[in-house]
Every structure is written in C-alpha cells, then in structure tokens.
Structure 1
Amino acid sequence: MTAQRHRNRGLRIGLRTGLLGGAISLAALPVLAQDLVWARYGDIDSLDPHRATSTLSMQVWDQIYDTLLAFDENGVARPNLAKSWEVSEDGLSYTFTMQEGVVCHDGTPFTADDVKFTIDRAFGDNPSLTRTSWGPITDVTVVDDLTVTVTLESTFGAFLPFLADSFSSMICDSNAELEDYGTGSAIGTGPFSLVSWVQGDEVVLEANPDYRNFGKPVENDGPVHIDRLIVRTIPEPQTRLAALRTGEVHIAEPPFDDIPDIQSGEELELVVAENTGQNVFWQYTTSRPPFDDIRARQAIAHATDPQMAIDIVYGGMNQREWCPIAAGVFGNDQEFCRQFGYEYDPERARELLAELGYGPDNPLETTMYVWTGGNRHILAEIFQAQLAEVGVDASIEIMDIGTMNARVREDNENADSEEPGTFNMMTWGWYDPDILYALWHGGGAYAGYQSDELDAMLERTRTLTDEEERLEAVQNVIQYLMENAIHVGLYTPGWEWIFALRPEVEGFKVGAFLHPMFQDVRVTE
C-alpha cells in the first residue's frame, strides 16, 4: 500500500507491510542543506550485526549494510544482493548468484568471499547473538567470485526469510582488518557509509555514491538523495518534540500524549508503521508457585483487558493481538488464535483463583515486570488495577529491556526461591514464526516453560519447507502455547512504530518488519 498524506489531520500511514538524560546538545554537528537528522530515544548497541539484537541497532544496520534477499511490501523475501538462487532436490544446499558490480564502502568488490566471511563469522568462536536463526548451516563454499553454496544439516523453513533480515547483514571481509570494527568502524554495501559514532550521542552516516538498490521496495534504485543521515540520541520525549518543531530534527518518535495534537495540526506529519512483527505478551515464571499452575496463568490472562488498556493509552494506534506471533508474520490468524485465547472475564479469573485457595482475604501476591518507554508504565497501572479487582496484588517493577531480560531468566532459573513467581509484559519483534523456537525450545531465551512435547513440535516447524505443512505445524505450536497459557498475546505494535516528520521531509517510508527506508527521501527547501 502506498504511503498516503493527510495534511489536514497531520497523519500519514506508512507502507502496509511496514523477535531505552541529562542535558542534550541538539547541535552536536552543524546541519548541512541536505542533512537529515533522525532523533531517537536511545542509541545503538553496536555497529556489528552479530553483537546486538535491539531495534535501535537494527535500524542503523539497515543503512550501512545490505542483505542477500530483501523483504517486499508484503514481507516476502525477494532477490537483492543475491540475484538468484537454486535449491538442491533434498533441500539441504542453496546456491546463490550475486549481483555484478557491487562495491563495499572501502572500494573493494563485494563477492562470494564476503558472504562466506559473514556466515563463517556468525558461527565462529564468538558467534552471532542470532546464530540459531541462521539455521543448521554446516558449510559455506565459494564456487567463484559471484557464486556461493550454503549447506545445511537439515531442511530449514525459515532460512530464506532470515536472509532478508538485518541480522543477516552482509559484512565486507575487509572489516577483519579493523581493530575497532563494531565500535568505531563498519564497512558494508548499504546506502550510507559510516562517518562516526559518538556513543550515547549520535551516529553520522554519509551517502554511498556507489549504492544500488536491487530489492528494497523503493522507487530510487541509485544513491540516496540526501548527503548525510545523522541519527541522534535524545532520550527525553518532549526535548525530541521541541527539536522537531524548531527544525533542529527532521524525524523523531513523538511523545504519545502529544499525538492527538500532532494529528489535529498541520505543522507535522505522522508515519505509522504496520505489520511490524512486534508482539507484546504475558510471560510467566513457571518454575515455582504460583505460575507453575496453569490456573494462575489463566487467571492473569482472564483478569486483564488489553483492548481497553491500549485504547486508553494509544488511542487506536495499535491493535489487540491474540496470537503468539504478530500480524504480518506467517501463521498469524486472529480468528484461529482467538478460539484458544483468554477473553476478558473477571468472574472466571476469580473462580480460578478460588480453586487455588486465593480470595478477598488471601490475595495472590506477585510482581509484574515492565520495560521503560512507550507509556508501558501506564498500561501496567491499568492492568494492576484490573488484577486488584479479582484478588491479585501485583506490584510493578519498571526497568530497561536488558535488565528485564536478565531478571526474567534469573527468576526462571531460581526454582528453589521461596519468593512468589513473577510475570512480565515481554516484547519481541521478528519476521517469521521461527521466533517461537528461540523463545520456547528447551526453555528458550529465558529458561522458561519447557516440555518434550513442545520441543518436538517446535523442531517440526523448523524442518518443514512445504508452506501448507509448515502452517499446520506452526498453528499446532500456537494452540499448545495458548491452551497452556504460556505465551498470551496482548497487542501489536509495541515500540518505536510511530514517526513524526517535518513537512519538508518527503519520501520517507517504513518497510515490512519496521525497517525505515531513506532511499527516496528528499529534504525540500
């Protein structure tokens, strides 16, 4: 769907397909005529795609690097740096043919050697944080300068989609010679090359004159129109908005409380990303009471009303999500998921709690973890009040996402603790249902719920390549997770999906799975 402008409402919807301070120096660098300044609440974690998993990092990698495949407007993987590929009859070998004439930022040609370097590095002594998502790769063979063969131990249904995601960004092998790769330098083939990164302040990128677009859903197939892209860290929402209004910043995430005013005015526009792949869900410490009992998990799910909460906090900017995978991801079917979901039913929640021995004089005591930003603290307070109505005394702890991830895993691993188990408003964004394998196989990323039956089901989703068979396997996993109240969907999108733009910015788009694209952007006088 083409981006539409509605200046009278200040709202522009992005492409339909569109897994957190002190004093800020807003003029850290002088802004040139064709500079674009993009302000965000936080900084990247690394310039190295193998060393981080945050959206903030991913969106900068998109500008420096490119991928073998690229997501089209519908989130389907299409040719990009790889112009074609062949799959062996047994599905274990993929032979990719590269585009001719692609050049790395340092002037060296992009070849099959760079592909091998990237994949070998992802499986090396210090492997990529997303190594599992590459699949069961056993060998990468360079056939010639423009041909490479990747061999798998077993078939892997998510392999091609992964090659369109930023976590598979192609890293030019000349980076191996750089002592500060990932912290002060980075060489790719993307639309921008790195000028500098001052941690906690800004990333400065300049246009790559040799860039060619082969697969991204944009109109411009050549170098970008702007001279530089400056990605600036401004943690305070009101400071970002003030800089946007004065013209010191061109694009920024607006404060949620100010969105209605922006929509009703003509000074700024909004781009709202859709099909982001983001999923916000209830997750529980299942290794000890009370959430080692399915009834306690179901009670939390029945006692909370996500639709009411997001209507209050976000005012129609996102939607209720019934599935463990988000809208736009293969296998997401709201009607299918809802039949196994948990409607808002406080009376049923009280019944389940009573069966466990809880009641008005003996409330279930627990703690809800929430990560900072996105007005999630307000959501937490709404949920806290709803839980209190059914006899759940839930305190709230708010922390950054890294701390929350560590705390959740620690709680799951500490099965002998006498403290009540916690639950959390977890968030993940991904492009494929393979995220469920990462989250739940063998206890998954957070050492949480585990069963041999679920593990076997998850393994089957990975090995199937036939679309109909894989869909059935994915939905079997979804049904299991929901019926057992392991992964209870709340809403989507969940973070960094709304962009406010100054009127002189034209051509900005957000692609599938929240990938901002600047190839068509112009800054008018």
Structure 2
Amino acid sequence: MKRRDFNTMLLSGLAAAGAASVINPWGDGMAYAQTESGGLTALLTPEPPLIVLPLNQQQSTLVVGTKIYEGLLSFDFDLNPLPQLAESWDISDDGLIYTFHLQKGVTWHDGVPFTAADVVFSCQVMLMELHPRARGNFERCETITALDDHTVEFVLKEPFSPFLKAFECGSAPICPKHIYDGTDYANNPHNDRPIGTGPFQFSEWVRGSHIHLVANPDYYVEGQPGLSEIYFRIVPDATSRSVAMETGEAQLSSWNDVEMFDVERLASLPHLTKTTKGYEFFSPLVWYEPNLRREPLNDVRFRKAMMHLLDRSFIVDRIMFGQARPARGPLSSTTPFYEPDLPEYAVDVAQANTLLDEMGLEPDGSGVRVTIDFLVAPAGEMWIRLAEYFRQALSAGGINVNLVSTDMAGWGQSVANWDYDITANLLFQNADPALGVARSYISSNIRKGVLFTNTEGYDNPEVDRLFAEAAVAVDPARRQELYSDVQRILVDELPVLWMAEQRYPTIYDNRLTDLVVTGTGVNGNFAAARYI
C-alpha cells in the first residue's frame, strides 16, 4: 500500500471515530492540519519571498524549503555527518577525493528518478551561479564527476578540511536537473511549485495566509515521514502568534516566530516544550551592516564611533530578553577557531564624539552631524526594536538615523544590490569559518545581486590571504593561528558591527517527538517527526 492510500484510510477512520479538525482558527476560511491525523501547523514569520532553496537563503525560506529539498548529508548535534541523499561516502587518504554513494530508489516529486547527474548539475552549475556559499566551496574542486547513476566523485585542487560540511541542505540543496538545466533560473515556472526529493512535497501557497506541504507518498526511507502534512501559517501579528501557540492552534514556533519577551511565558505552559538545541550548525550572529561604499560609513573612525555608542549588553538584555549573548567579533563563541582575546569597544559617548570631531563632522544648529538611512529588516518586532535602538543610541553622537521600511523581498533586493546605507542582518556560521564566516569578508565574494555574500563591500587583501590559507590548512593549530589573526584585523577595521550571538528557542507541542533531531534543528527535513 502506498503511503498516500494509507493516509487516506487513516483520515477516513479518524473521521468516522469523530476526530475533530481544527477548522478556520484564524477566521480565513481555511481548514488547518488536525493533530489527530498527524498534521502539523507551524508558525512562519516573515513570509518568504519564495521557497526555492537555490534561489533564496532567507531564514523563512530555509524553514520551508528544507522539507522539500535535501542535501547529500545532515549533521548531528556534535556536527558529525549523517546520511541524507548520500547513503555513504569515502575520503581518500590524501584528502583530495570525496566519493559519495547515493541512495537508490529516490525519485523527484514529479516521479523522475534522482541520479548522480542531478548532484553534478547542482554543485557544478546551478549553485555556483546562485548560492552565496556554494561558489566558494565548489570552486575548490578540480572535477565533479558522475561515475555512474548513484556515485559522484569530487576531486579537490588541494585539501579542504571542512568540505563535508558543505553538503548540508541549506548549503548545497540538490536540485532537479531536468527542471532547471538550460533555463532562466529566476523565471522558471516551477519556482511556484518547487520539486524536490524531500519527505514533504508542495501542495499550495496562499500568499499572506499559509504554505501547505503534504507527505511524500514515495519517500525513500521506510516509515517516513511521520507527519501527514504541514501548514506553515503566516501570521504577521506577534500577539496572534503567541495566542496560537498558547491555545494549540499552532504546534510549533521557531527562530523569531515568538517575540523574545514572550518565550519563557509560553515555555512554562504545560502543553508546550522549549529547546535551544538544533542551532549548533548555524551559530547565528546578529550585526549592524554598513554599506562601505557610502560616506561616512566608509571611514573606519565613523564605524568605531558607532560601536562606542552601541551597548551590546542592552541589546541582549532588553531587546533579546537574555536569549543571546554579546558578540565579540566575526566568529561566534560556539564556532570552531573562535578567538576570545580580542579588543572590546566599551560604551563611550565621549570617545565616539572625539572620533566624529576628527572626521570634521561638525554639528549643525540642531546638533546633527550627519544623517543616514537604516533599512529595517521586516522579520519581527525584535528587528524593529534593533532599528529603533540604533537610532536612539546614535543620536548621542549627533548622528540622525532615518528608518526605512520595506517588505522582505524588498529588503533582500536592496541589500543584495547594495542599495542601502545600513541595516541589521543575521548570518549563519555553518560549522566552520571557511564555510559561513569568510564569505562575508573576502573580496572575491563581493557579488552584486546575491544576498548573504560580502554585501557591505569590504576589501582587504591581507584578510583574503588569511582566510584562504586557513581554509586549506590541515593542522588545527595552524588554522587557529590564522583565524585568530584575521579576527584581530576585522575587529579593528569593523566591516560590520557585531552585536549578539543569538540563542533562538524552538517551542513545540508536547505530543510531538523526533522533531529536533539534528544540529540543523527546524531546518532539518522533519522526516522522523510524529505525534505520540
């Protein structure tokens, strides 16, 4: 019996037994997933611009897209590799050849067989053009070859210690060659109905309301997925999101779905569980990102003045309500090769004003030295508060800040195309500095139109050299030395203003089990998740 038929039989049986659906909880005429049938309603904020992972890497896109698409590997909480589309892999003794043996019997959601040709196309062609990190990873390959339909060989130009970690789904989503090869990726008609190999397949997207995924009846892992469907419910209002979790109308919130001030109250409710596990791979870092192409943001004295005006502890305590810790520099303390012995910028209004005076930025009759625009990330109230606090803090130095509002697509487009003065951003570190950190600072990754690259426009040949050498160094002690050196330079030059190491909560219904089972947490594929 196919899974689709089994689910139909199960739902019919439950209906006959009088199982009640959660109907229209938000008054929009839709029938949402009933937990009795194994369905899940998850909050999602903000609404993603699209859910095709190769084309977009914004957080809400990743939450949905990782249920549809898969990578070759996943990773446990200690960041050890686990099988996904690759059932096993071999690494040559010299560290140059990685051979992946692919799962057999896997089909795309449209029924076309998944083969090694899809992996080669994804890693060698599509992701190299579109993905903010894949280019830096796969350009290290001399060749990427399909040895047969179920075997792919990656031959590196030189050893690259973190190479396996490049195959996590968000970092290298495997895409269907038969859908995208030779097409205009951005305008491919299948972008509205994405096709992957994952445990859930796309059903519908009602803009402003919900994204509906249903169980893949032909998923290649026996007995999975354990959920029959997932509704990602788009609720712009923070209070409504909290109420949905409180009343059980939604069974899952993650990342910044619930505002930080409400986390502990919800976590204390008897039907809900909170965990901070599942963010180990990402170690997300929050910063203010200036556009270094624009005056006066291109002057390091101005950036240092801003750092002296900003209180990271205030941000952690009063905006993030303790769900974070102050950041020291470009690496999170949970990322390998973090350097703890770095200079700190104490809150010092007098020093900030001295630096601004040195620049010749004289106050006008209203005490304003200069005006800059702040592009507000429309990702929840925390991000609005970060913008409002920035405006308030910088006023002590005579810096006037205009807050500019937009939607998520507009924010991403403006930042990717360098059309902003300053904004707030959050980037993943992806388990190794060579994978998630270097991309934000190396000059070769200044790529107009591609979000989450070196969008600020920082260019330092010495930083480029240090990151390049550290990426290929085999000795961990040598890698530490090189990464410590680059952290010291970056903290001195401040290409971005690091504020906080975010500790996001995941809150979910107690009846759910095996939901957060890897180091990628809710960005995992939810194949094992089910109700008990």
Structure-1-length-normalised TM-score: 0.80
The equivalent of 1:202 in structure 2 is 210
Deviates more, 1:99-108 or 1:196-205: 99-108
- Separation in structure 1 between the aligned mates of residue 271 and residue 333 of structure 2, nearest angstrom: 31
Deviations 1:419-454 (A, max 9, x none): xx9433232223032334322222733252213222
Equivalent residue for 1:193, pick from 191, 201, 209: 201
The amino acid across from 1:314 in the alignment is M
Displacement of 1:288: 4.4
Displacement of 1:510: 6.5
- Separation in structure 2 between the aligned mates of residue 516 and residue 360 of structure 1, nearest angstrom: 48
- Separation in structure 2 between the aligned mates of residue 242 and residue 27 of structure 1, nearest angstrom: 19
- Separation in structure 2 between the aligned mates of residue 512 and residue 120 of structure 1, nearest angstrom: 26
- Separation in structure 2 between the aligned mates of residue 393 and residue 129 of structure 1, nearest angstrom: 32
- Separation in structure 2 between the aligned mates of residue 172 and residue 397 of structure 1, nearest angstrom: 38
Deviates more, 1:68-77 or 1:365-374: 365-374
Equivalent residue for 1:354, pick from 340, 352, 357: 357
- Separation in structure 2 between the aligned mates of residue 493 and residue 396 of structure 1, nearest angstrom: 23
3-state secondary structure, aligned to 2:88: strand
The equivalent of 1:149 in structure 2 is 153
The equivalent of 1:65 in structure 2 is 69
- Separation in structure 2 between the aligned mates of residue 391 and residue 176 of structure 1, nearest angstrom: 51
The amino acid across from 1:238 in the alignment is T
Is 1:181 equivalent to 2:190 in the alignment? yes
Displacement of 1:481: 1.0
Q: How does 1:395-434 map to 2 (within 5 A)?
A: 395-408=402-415, 422-431=421-430, 432-434=432-434
Deviations 1:69-99 (A, max 9, x none): 2111123434443243334465443222224
Conserved 8 A contact 1:105-1:187: yes
Residue 475 to residue 370, structure 1, CA distance change in 2 (3 Å): farther
3-state secondary structure, aligned to 1:248: coil
The equivalent of 1:487 in structure 2 is 496
The equivalent of 2:458 in structure 1 is 449
Is 1:345 equivalent to 2:348 in the alignment? yes
Conserved 8 A contact 1:281-1:324: no
- Separation in structure 1 between the aligned mates of residue 517 and residue 319 of structure 2, nearest angstrom: 23
Equivalent residue for 2:135, pick from 132, 136, 160: 132
The amino acid across from 2:395 in the alignment is A
Displacement of 1:40: 1.0
The amino acid across from 2:433 in the alignment is P
- Separation in structure 1 between the aligned mates of residue 517 and residue 492 of structure 2, nearest angstrom: 35
- Separation in structure 2 between the aligned mates of residue 375 and residue 330 of structure 1, nearest angstrom: 28
The amino acid across from 2:370 in the alignment is E
Deviations 1:336-388 (A, max 9, x none): 3xx23323233332332333345776543232333122422223333333333
CA RMSD of aligned residues (A): 3.3
Unaligned runs of 5+ in 1: 1-22, 214-220, 413-420
Displacement of 1:164: 1.9
Conserved 8 A contact 2:287-2:498: yes
Conserved 8 A contact 2:46-2:234: yes
Displacement of 1:319: 1.5
- Separation in structure 2 between the aligned mates of residue 96 and residue 521 of structure 1, nearest angstrom: 26
The equivalent of 2:17 in structure 1 is none
Conserved 8 A contact 1:286-1:449: yes
- Separation in structure 2 between the aligned mates of residue 239 and residue 427 of structure 1, nearest angstrom: 24
How many residues get paired?
Answer: 480
Residue 278 to residue 398, structure 1, CA distance change in 2 (3 Å): farther
The equivalent of 1:249 in structure 2 is 250
Is 1:294 equivalent to 2:296 in the alignment? no
Structure-2-length-normalised TM-score: 0.79
The equivalent of 2:164 in structure 1 is 160
Deviations 1:471-507 (A, max 9, x none): 332232222111112233101228xx33433444344
Displacement of 1:228: 1.2
The amino acid across from 1:329 in the alignment is T
- Separation in structure 2 between the aligned mates of residue 407 and residue 283 of structure 1, nearest angstrom: 13
The amino acid across from 1:387 in the alignment is L
Q: How does 1:176-325 map to 2 (within 5 A)?
A: 180-188=189-197, 190-211=198-219, 222-252=223-253, 253-266=257-270, 268-273=272-277, 274-275=279-280, 276-325=282-331
The amino acid across from 2:402 in the alignment is S
Residue 401 to residue 141, structure 1, CA distance change in 2 (3 Å): same
Residue 305 to residue 173, structure 1, CA distance change in 2 (3 Å): same
- Separation in structure 2 between the aligned mates of residue 469 and residue 267 of structure 1, nearest angstrom: 49
- Separation in structure 2 between the aligned mates of residue 120 and residue 409 of structure 1, nearest angstrom: 23
Conserved 8 A contact 1:84-1:98: yes
3-state secondary structure, aligned to 1:476: helix
Is 1:464 equivalent to 2:473 in the alignment? yes
3-state secondary structure, aligned to 1:182: helix
3-state secondary structure, aligned to 1:482: helix
The amino acid across from 1:458 in the alignment is F
- Separation in structure 2 between the aligned mates of residue 522 and residue 513 of structure 1, nearest angstrom: 18
Deviations 1:148-199 (A, max 9, x none): 11234454444321112423122344545997433214131x2223333344
Conserved 8 A contact 1:279-1:491: yes
Residue 400 to residue 306, structure 1, CA distance change in 2 (3 Å): farther
Is 1:509 equivalent to 2:516 in the alignment? yes
Conserved 8 A contact 2:69-2:173: yes
Q: How does 1:72-111 map to 2 (within 5 A)?
A: 72-88=76-92, 91-106=95-110, 109-111=113-115
